[in-house]
Structure 1
Amino acid sequence: MEHAGKHALVTGGGTGIGKGIAVALAQAGAEVTITGRRADVLEELAATQERLHPMVMDIDDEQAVRDGIEAAAEQRGPVQICIANAGIAEGGPFETTSLAAWRKIMTTNLDGVFLTFQAAMSTLKPEDPARMIVVSSIAGVRGLKNAIPYTVSKHGVIGLIRGLSEEFMRRPITFNALCPGYVDTAIVRNQLPGLMKRFGVDEQGAIDAIAKGNRHRKLLEVDETTTALMWLCSEGARSINGQTIEISGGQV
């Protein structure tokens, strides 16, 4: 119960990596606000853990983010653990990428993290210890072809945590990024039909094609990212600041 008495907030906390993080934090004693766009998904998860608290919040909406996090802090205290996990992944050739598609990804993946961190930090007193963690991607530390806006957005959030770690160096607050490779989640599974058709392979063949993006050629499990995050939230990681933790089965 290391985090008993703390308030944690996880955006995109209803599914995939966010779900795993939210459950782990609740099991460690934190009161966890889980946010997302679908009330039914959030409520279904919250019903499984008494310390999970659902809140519909669209991170593309500035006022919704600021008002939502303020309301959550009024109910459960300052946000001492903030996990900016919500994001979207869309790809395509650079030559045919529209400005609208570019802006959509930047609004969610980069602006959303900026707003989430700024709103969460406004709930803290200068002396409050806190952990601010963004779920970036291996795309944040290397380039991915046919995913330029996504790659740029994930590089951007790493710049954000590095800048923030310098600006708030004298406060008991850290900023770090998790950079997982391809994780076995619904986002990855949803790509399988298209890959099966594109390469003329069965489902396992499509999985193998995605898994090649990880150095050990296996899809990651959600718990691998969750475990790394729980370490970053621990007291023992209090001097880990402005760092990228890469999880991809080998050197990126």
Structure 2
Amino acid sequence: MDNQQNHVLITGGGSGIGLATARTFVNAGYRVTLAGRNRNRLDAAISHLPGASALPLDVTDEAALTIAFQNLASEGNMPDILINNAGAAKTAPLHRTSLDDWNAMLAVNLTGAFLCARAVVPHMKEQGFGRIITVASTAGLKGYAYTAAYTAAKHGVIGMTRSLALELAGSGVTANAVCPGFTDTDIVSTSVANIVEKTGRSAEDAVKELTKHSPEGRLIRPEEVADTILWLARAEAAAMNGQAIAVAGGEVM
């Protein structure tokens, strides 16, 4: 399949890594749909992405997600490439993490990816080609203090990816995860603001704290993550399956 035929669905596509990924795929000639909960944000995003479309979707709502994918199937528009990017992060010591916050982190970062992957696998297997690429995190490869729920979800999504990869082996469909380090997105901006508020440090010092374990000592650019996702999506990347690729400036080796 060439790029013009491939349909890419990006969850959490209205900002950050999702938006950078959408821009990268549009520029490479793919048909792109951005999914997310905020319709205004999606509309603003696609206004700068020729040919892209918007799909209002909450990946944690199983019923709504099922209907959305049924509609895509009836239109003959099921995705050939699924990019599970929807996610959120909350920080707190484990003993101060509420069950609601724990469940919320698992719902958006892990269960949402499961529901989307489950929806597309039959179509991809039937056509003999597909790519399921999940944006995890270096938190899925190591531990970070004060992020127990988020880290557990990211470990979980990498485990799910590896299991799915084994199930899909030989089908023409692959499943991989991309694990960014701290990336210059709204989520990290919120983390920086929290550090400033709680410690009185400057924003510059807060960024240094987040990047202190990176050999490059900097935030990752969303476009760097997007380029890795684009590579994994190509037909030529068929040998990549079940991988969790760190895009982190050498923080995880």
Bigger drift between 42-51 and 188-197 goes to 188-197
| Correspondence 1:26-105 to 2 at 5 A | 26-75=26-75, 77-105=77-105
Instruction: State the one-letter code of the partner of 1:37.
Output: R
Local SS of the residue matching 1:122: helix
How high is the sequence identity, in percent, across the aligned residues? 33
Q: Once the 2 structures are TM-superposed, how far is the Cα of residue 213 of structure 1 from its aligned partner?
A: 4.3
Bigger drift between 185-194 and 236-245 goes to 185-194
User: Distance in 2 between the 1:62 and 1:125 partners?
Assistant: 22
| Correspondence 1:177-192 to 2 at 5 A | 177-192=177-192
Structure 2 equivalent of residue 16 of structure 1: 16
User: Distance in 2 between the 1:75 and 1:27 partners?
Assistant: 24
Instruction: State the one-letter code of the partner of 1:159.
Output: G
Local SS of the residue matching 1:174: strand
Q: Deviations over 1:8-53 (max 9, x none)?
A: 1000000000001111112222211111111000011111122211
TM-score when normalising by structure 1? 0.95
- Aligned partners of 1:80 and 1:128 also within 8 Å: no
Query: After TM superposition, which residue ranges in structure 1, 4 or more long, deviate above 6 angstroms?
Result: none
Bigger drift between 186-195 and 227-236 goes to 186-195
- Aligned partners of 1:2 and 1:29 also within 8 Å: no
User: Distance in 2 between the 1:92 and 1:250 partners?
Assistant: 26
User: Distance in 2 between the 1:214 and 1:190 partners?
Assistant: 20
User: Distance in 1 between the 2:206 and 2:195 partners?
Assistant: 6
- Aligned partners of 2:213 and 2:251 also within 8 Å: no
Local SS of the residue matching 1:59: coil
Structure 1 equivalent of residue 233 of structure 2: 233
Unpaired stretches in structure 1, ≥5 consecutive residues: none
Bigger drift between 215-224 and 37-46 goes to 215-224
Q: Once the 2 structures are TM-superposed, how far is the Cα of residue 63 of structure 1 from its aligned partner?
A: 1.3
1:4 aligns with 2:4: yes
User: Distance in 1 between the 2:248 and 2:13 partners?
Assistant: 22
Q: Deviations over 1:38-76 (max 9, x none)?
A: 100001111112221101100110011121123234435
Q: Deviations over 1:166-194 (max 9, x none)?
A: 11112000000000000001111122232
CA RMSD of aligned residues (A): 1.6
Instruction: State the one-letter code of the partner of 1:49.
Output: L
Q: Once the 2 structures are TM-superposed, how far is the Cα of residue 224 of structure 1 from its aligned partner?
A: 0.8
- Aligned partners of 2:124 and 2:173 also within 8 Å: no
1:155 aligns with 2:164: no
- Aligned partners of 2:182 and 2:188 also within 8 Å: yes
Structure 2 equivalent of residue 140 of structure 1: 140
Q: Once the 2 structures are TM-superposed, how far is the Cα of residue 236 of structure 1 from its aligned partner?
A: 2.2
Bigger drift between 101-110 and 123-132 goes to 123-132
Bigger drift between 8-17 and 183-192 goes to 183-192
1:172 aligns with 2:172: yes
Equivalent residues, number = 252
TM-score when normalising by structure 2? 0.94
- Aligned partners of 1:174 and 1:241 also within 8 Å: yes
- Aligned partners of 1:182 and 1:213 also within 8 Å: no
User: Distance in 1 between the 2:202 and 2:7 partners?
Assistant: 44
Unpaired stretches in structure 2, ≥5 consecutive residues: none
Instruction: State the one-letter code of the partner of 1:227.
Output: D
User: Distance in 2 between the 1:223 and 1:43 partners?
Assistant: 21
Structure 1 equivalent of residue 224 of structure 2: 224
Local SS of the residue matching 2:113: helix
Bigger drift between 117-126 and 57-66 goes to 117-126
Change beyond 3 A, Cα 1:247–1:96:
same
Structure 1 equivalent of residue 113 of structure 2: 113
Q: Once the 2 structures are TM-superposed, how far is the Cα of residue 251 of structure 1 from its aligned partner?
A: 4.5
